[in-house]
Each structure stands twice: as C-alpha cells, then as structure tokens.
Amino acid sequence: MTASLLSDANRRLARALKHVQISEDASERLQFPKASLKVSIPVRMDDGSLRVFEGYRVRYDDTRGPTKGGIRFHPKVSMDEVQSLAFWMTFKCAAVNLPFGGAKGGITLNPKELSKFELERLSRGYVDAIADFIGPDIDIPAPDVYTNPMIMGWMMDQYSIIRRQLCPAVITGKPLGMGGSQGRDRATGTGAFYVLQAMLSKFDRIPAETTVAVQGFGNAGSVIARLLFDAGYKVVAVSDSRGGVYCDRGLDIPSLQQFKASTRSLQAVYCEGTVCNLVDGQETITNEDLLTLDVDILIPAALENQITADNAPLVQAKYIFEVANGPITSEGDRILEDKGVYVFPDILVNAGGVIVSYYEWVQNRSGLYWTEAEVSDRLKTKIIEEAEKIWRIAQNLAIPPRTAAYVHALERLEEAHSARGTRDYYVS
C-alpha cells in the first residue's frame, strides 16, 4: 500500500467541494485525521516463540459523534490504508445520517497462518494496546476483513476486563450471546441489496434479464449474491481470494455457499475452501478476469484499488455497486464516467454494516433488543431513504452518484462543524 491512497481519497473530496458551500475551516479540517495510533503487539505463539505484530487505529473526525469503524486483519494493512478507510467511514456515517464520526483499525498479518488461540491472544493484546484510544463514547470498533463476531467478542471481553465492568457498547458485531444484534452478520450485503434494488428501479431493469458478477465471496459478497439469486437475477460469476468460477447460464449460489460452509473444519476460524473447485465443467477465472466480464452489474466486494486506470477501459458492466471499500481509484472513476458507467459508491452501498452496528450500539446502551425483522425493516427504510436523497442530488446537479454522496455527507459535516464553532483551534 503506497502513501497515495489517502491522497486519492482526498481527490474525491475535492471534486465534491465544487458543488457544495462549506467553510474553509471545515474543508481544511476534513483533509487530516484527528488522531492516529500505531502499536506493537507481542504475542506468545503456540510453539513458545514470541512474535510482534504491528497494529493501527485512526479516529478521523468526531464532529458528529464518537468515531466508528472496523478492524481488519490482513497482510497489507498499513497506516495509510487505515487512515483512508477512516476517511471513508467519516463520510459514510454522514451520508446515511448516523451520529458517528469515522474510524478504522487493523493489524498487519496473514490471519490464516495463526491458530485460534494465537488469534485470541493477538486480539486481546491489540485491545490492551489501544484501550485508552477507544470507548463507547469515544470510538467503537467493529468487524472488517478477516475479523468476525468471535474476534469482536474477545475484544469486548478484554476491554471489559481492563475497565472492570461489562462494556458491551464498546464493540459492535459481537456474538448474540454477548450483546450482538440480530441481522448484523448479514447487514452489509443486505443493505447493498436494498440499494441495488432501489437504484435499478430507475432504469426499469428486469431481474431475470440482468447478469451479475460478484468479486469477493465473503460475508458481504456471498450475502448479496444469494439475495440477488433469490430475487431472480442471473449471477454468472463469483470469486474469492484464490480465483473464481463463471457460467453464462447462471450459478447455483446456494450450492456455492454450502460448499464454502462444508469446507470449514470445527477448529478453523476462517473458511479454508475456495469457490474455484466447486463444480466440474464450470469455467474457472481469475479475479482480474471477473472485473472485465460482459455483464450488466459488477459488484466489487473484496478489497480496495481493484479497478484502476489500467483495467477500467476493459470494464463492460453498465452498473457498478461498490460493496468493498474503495475498490475503484479516482483515475478509474474518471474513465468509467466517460464510458457512461453508473458507479454507486461504497459510502452508500456498503453502509448497511455500520447502520446495523449503530443499532447494536443503541441496543447495548438501552438494554432493549430488537428482532431480526425489526432490524431489517429499520435498515431498509434508512438506507433506501438516503439512497433516494443521493440520487436526487445526482440528478439535480448532473453529477455522478459518488460525487452526490460526498456532497450529501459534506452538507451534514458542515452543519456539525459550524455548530461546534472554532472550538479550540485558535486558542494559544
């Protein structure tokens, strides 16, 4: 990950600033993270050796409320990546009108190389290192790439041990038995599906005649793929980290999900299977090939920077829904815009996760817990409402949906910055 990632993110901000009036103070403040923390996490491995891992947590902007954002375990985690993801979370929370700012965290490692017990020691060690940097009223972490409810449960438990009191609201995405919310594990993919359905209605698309390719078959990608399959869309390609499978007649998504689940051993924390070796006779493809398939809808649901200036000219999809964070670079955006591709941005499309994380935080603090149907109904109402507002901005200003989403978020951030006044920026 190069130092250009945050600069690339800021180019989206600069473009949106041309269409909205905000103070110079707010504009300047939003270009820099409020606080960034880098920590070393020593972990005793199962063989008795000691390894030290690098961890990060960034609180980007807390003007609208305590910061919110996931924690990822991945070999490419860096300070630049975490700062950029915290930047996106700031605008995501504002775009869907949550009382949160943006944050993100991560640890640099390949989690599949660690045992369950090593992962637990690592997770608890990370919380030990950042405990003074987070809190239910300061910064509320959640799961992200290669983290899950079990890991969030360990982290919440460790924070509670440190504080000597039960603190369920410090972490969201927890197991249900530890104060997690119904529907949280499916929220990102479900919210993305609601946005896709609402936006495609503008173009009179018929599901049975609409082809879809999904890059990434994890928690979010597999959920939206299944929802699209159940709704009658023709999902012709999916992929995971080791490759993908393609069938022009459409794939049996429930079988793919069953395969992924069946290859998980009882002791494993992460799925060991790959969709590449599911069905004999299907065409195997690479992740790169999937992005350039001749399909109607492309759903990048893996990692950032998947569509760049190099491969954007080859993209054939008419509509792109960003389920991953930052899967398209700003240069790739320009090329897709010139090609007439509708790109619906991550800060709207994948906001279902943070919306239901907010609901979990509210439930933890109130002690009143909702049913899965109640959570789903609240999620659907909120994300479609904000999607419609962003669509109207895009139409009224004749700008792409991404720029409209940033304009929408900036208006709310400006309101909050303005209400706060100068605070202590100029105090000597």
Active site residues: 104
Backbone angles phi, psi at 313, to 5 degrees: -60, -20
Residue 37 belongs to what H/E stretch?
strand 35-44
Cite the DSSP H helix spans in 270-371. 287-291, 330-338, 346-349, 352-366
Q: Are 173 and 208 in contact (CB under 8 A)?
A: no
Strands annotated E in 283-341: 283-285, 297-300, 319-321
> What separation in angstroms does the CA of 113 have from each of 109, 151, 272, 312?
8, 16, 11, 33
- Helix 352-366 with 79-95: angle, nearest 10 deg: 80
State the DSSP string of 53-78: EEEEEEEEE-TTSSEEEEEEEETT--
For residue 230, give both structure tokens.
């159940």
Query: Which pair of tokens denotes residue 39?
Result: 């920590």
The tokens describing 386, both together, are 């904000």
> Longest Cα pair distance anywhere in the chain, in angstroms?
71
Give per-residue burial for 204-223: e unless 16+ CB within 10 Å, then b. Answer: ebeeeebbbbbbbbbbbbbb
Secondary structure (3-state) at 43: strand
